[in-house]
Homo-oligomer: A and B are copies of this chain.
Amino acid sequence: MRRAGLLLAAAALVFAAPSFAQDQSAAPVLVNASAFAAMRSEEARYPLFAAELERMRAEVDASMRAGINVPVPKDPGGGFTHEQHKRNYRSIYGAGLLYRLTGEPQYRDFARDLLLAYAKLYPTLGPHPAAANQVPGRLFWQSLNDSVWLVHGIQGYDAIRDSLTPEQRRTIDDNVFRRMAAFQVGEKANFDRIHNHATWAAAGVGMTGFVLRDPGLVEVALKGTDKSGKAGFLRQLDLLFSPDGYYSEGPYYQRYALQPFVVFAQAIEANDPQRQIFQYRDGIVLKAVTTAIQLTYDGYFFPLNDAMPDKSLKTEELYQGVAIAYGATHDPGLLSIAQWQGRTVLSPQGLEVARDLAAGKARPFPFASMLLRDGPAGDQGALAILRDGPGAADQVLVAKNTAQGMGHGHFDKLGWLLYDQGNAIVTDYGAARFLNIEAKDGGRYLDENDSWAKQTVAHNTLVVDEASHFGGKLKAAEALAPRQLAFVGEGKTRLSTAEMAGAYPGVTFRRTLVQMDIDGLSHPLVIDLLKVKGGKAARYDLPLHYSGQLIDTGFPLKSYVTTRPVLGQANGYQHLWVDATGRPDAANGRITWINDGRFYSWRTATPGTEIILAESGANDPKFNLRREPAIIQRLEAVKDATFVSLIEAHGRYDASSETTVGSKSAIRALRHVRGGDADLITIELVNGRTVTLAIADDVQSGVAHQANGLRWTGHFGRFDSAGKGAAQ
């Protein structure tokens, strides 16, 4: 029976699988019966899909062995009732699909019995007893989880609904799904927010509307509780993503937010195709998926803002996202992502992914340098990604010139990250949180998330007078965004220039980050030019958080080897131990570290800077922080300042062959001068070659500049001693 072709044929057989579609008016709508039949006939043919089916079978079978358990809600996240209700929605979803894909009635029975148990429990529930500062749910401590339950539960229910008796159907329709949808819509303030929590709510309510044949619910889901369109799914699509598909909270939450967007969009496409939801707003749903993929390195999301750095594309949201986007576009680059994920989903689109992967249609995903504008209108700053190449080991520079990104945003305007050889080199701490680990504050964001992870000094950007941007205040931070002034993603000199005004009263700072290919060097050089204009004399700190073991410094250190001072009192400074300090001269401002067998030499040409070598972990009695090193450039009592630094990847230590090559920097000197209306940065290599980068204050293209005998047109010019002048 696994390959039954037509439904009627199947139903006609004695001892065959149960006949689907006992009641046509209850036929499945999220995935229709013929699509299920097609999956059932092909399920075993393609390894990725067959494996998915086996995985789901193992999971649901285990739940079936454990038996029906629908407890009265009690525990917060991570606790037993919380985890059991999560298991239950996965069981309902999985058992429903398995019923359709295998024809085995025990799966239908299990999903049905679970739902009947919920039909008894749910009407008795009030607000969850463990509710905290989030909107309380009924099954869970926060209503968000209730929405997620609904999105999964309705899909499982849709798959079995036509095989139930009218009485069972009425019971479950009325006592589970109508009530759950009503609860979500009734939390009006939450439902009408422009926020990913509301997207989950809209998706659950809208899909429930399709399944219960209730157009009113669908309309509320699409257009908000008052059906005006000022809220609801479509408005969320308008406002939560930028025109480039960037989600305001950052990559980690973009990943998380994605699932209700793509799952509900797929349901709309199936039930209301004339709406052309995948074309809505210039294809924003699909853009959100491919942009999410662009926001990764070696498969891991850039850990900007509140983010777990161990989060990769191997996640349920992206299995769904990749499959749905592939179903809509058949872009073969998505297949290589599915291949890396090693997973897909049990849907018609997942079947297509598995089928086309098996047919060898995968092509490399086109990872590329790109500027992703932020804000609904694309005018709230941007994320600038510079890539040395499309590969997982190529060098990637990420300039975080985005807006605040709501409550999960960190206070690091114009911060940046660097990846190389598959590793994070210039790092972002991400969130201070141990997700779902109960002993660590129930798995919630820790106090150290506020006291350290969100603070500016925990990032790679300017700190004025030991205070965080906007005083660490969300409302102030949301009012202002950086301006992306220039971006060049291709060629031998790739560059981003952005400016932030108002992160501190009276202070404007501008940063140019450059990734330069230089003949004879095997990896690009990274140049960092950060210029501050302040209203009054202040202390300027520019931290650089790196990953690796320090090898040596070019300048002498004063080391704190028996007592390490704590760097400061507040705003994250209380979490930094001082290992050493030093004052490089114009020639020796170099620090070399090693990461994964490759050397990284950082170099400064900032005049008069003190260097502080620090490590996170002070004032951390509960061992909540990771202990990671940082280099801080510090200028005291200055009004205007220019920080110039550079990172060079070089050499190779090979543990197998016990050989080391290129452990010394290939750079002899880094110099900076101001000339005309430009900054001139000169890199002198040990082999005698010099490269000068001229960066004009004026970011316009087409404008001619000259300084110190150099002439160029546009924002920057590049002058290689081996070449004959400017080449951009």
Binding site for B on A (CB under 8 A): 78, 83, 308, 310-312, 314-316, 434-440, 443, 549-552, 557, 559, 561-564, 566, 577, 579-580, 592, 594, 615, 618-623, 626-627, 653, 655-660, 663-664
Contact = CB atoms under 8 A, between A and B. Distances in A.
B443 A660 contact: yes
Nearest to A591: B623
Given A78-B660, A559-B621, 10 more contacts: A78-B663, A438-B660, A439-B551, A439-B552, A439-B663, A440-B551, A443-B660, A552-B622, A562-B566, A563-B563
30 contacts: A83-B659, A311-B655, A312-B655, A315-B656, A315-B657, A315-B658, A434-B594, A434-B653, A435-B655, A435-B658, A436-B653, A437-B551, A437-B653, A438-B660, A438-B664, A439-B551, A439-B552, A440-B551, A440-B552, A443-B660, A549-B623, A549-B626, A550-B623, A551-B623, A561-B619, A561-B620, A561-B621, A563-B564, A564-B564, A580-B621
Contacts of A308: 655
Most buried by B among A579, A594, A660: A660
A582 to B, nearest CB: 11
Given A559-B621, A621-B580, A626-B549, A436 B78 contact: no
Contacts of A618: 561-562
Contact of A436 (B557, B622, B659): B659
A29 to B, nearest CB: 28
A316 B657 contact: yes
Contacts of A314: 656
Contacts of A562: 566, 618-619
A574 to B, nearest CB: 8
A6 to B, nearest CB: 36
A619 B561 CA distance: 4
Contacts of A655: 308, 310-312, 435
Nearest to A557: B621
Contacts of A627: 615, 627
Given A549-B626, A623-B549, A627-B627, A658 B436 contact: yes
Report whether over half of chain A's contact residues are helix, strand or loop; otherwise say mixed.
Answer: loop
Contacts of A658: 315, 435-436
Nearest to A575: B561
Contacts of A626: 549
Nearest to A308: B655
Contacts of A656: 312, 314-315
A344 to B, nearest CB: 14
Q: Tell me how many chains of this kind the complex includes.
A: 2
Nearest to A563: B563
Contact of A592 (B439, B563, B579): B439
Most buried by B among A557, A559, A619, A663: A663
A627 to B, nearest CB: 6
Contacts of A664: 438-439
A203 to B, nearest CB: 18
A238 to B, nearest CB: 29
A658 B83 CA distance: 11
A558 to B, nearest CB: 9
A322 B17 CA distance: 56
A83 B579 CA distance: 35
A439 B653 CA distance: 13
Most buried by B among A308, A311, A435: A435
Given A561-B620, A627-B627, A656-B312, A663 B552 contact: no
A437 B563 contact: no
A437 B660 contact: yes
A626 B627 CA distance: 12
Contacts of A312: 655-656
Nearest to A659: B436
Contacts of A577: 564
Nearest to A593: B623
A551 B436 CA distance: 12
Give the top 8 A-B pairs by smallest Cβ distance, nearest first.
A550-B623, A559-B621, A436-B660, A310-B655, A439-B552, A314-B656, A561-B619, A439-B551
Nearest to A313: B656
A167 B619 CA distance: 76
A664 to B, nearest CB: 7
A343 to B, nearest CB: 9
Given A566-B562, A657-B316, A437 B663 contact: yes
A594 B316 contact: no
A583 B657 CA distance: 47
A594 B437 contact: yes
Contacts of A439: 551-552, 592, 663-664
Contacts of A559: 621
Contacts of A551: 434, 437, 439-440, 623
A581 to B, nearest CB: 12
A434 B547 CA distance: 17
Nearest to A316: B657
Nearest to A619: B561
A690 B144 CA distance: 42
A686 to B, nearest CB: 14
Nearest to A438: B663
Contacts of A564: 563-564, 577
A627 B549 CA distance: 10
A579 B617 CA distance: 10
Nearest to A613: B623
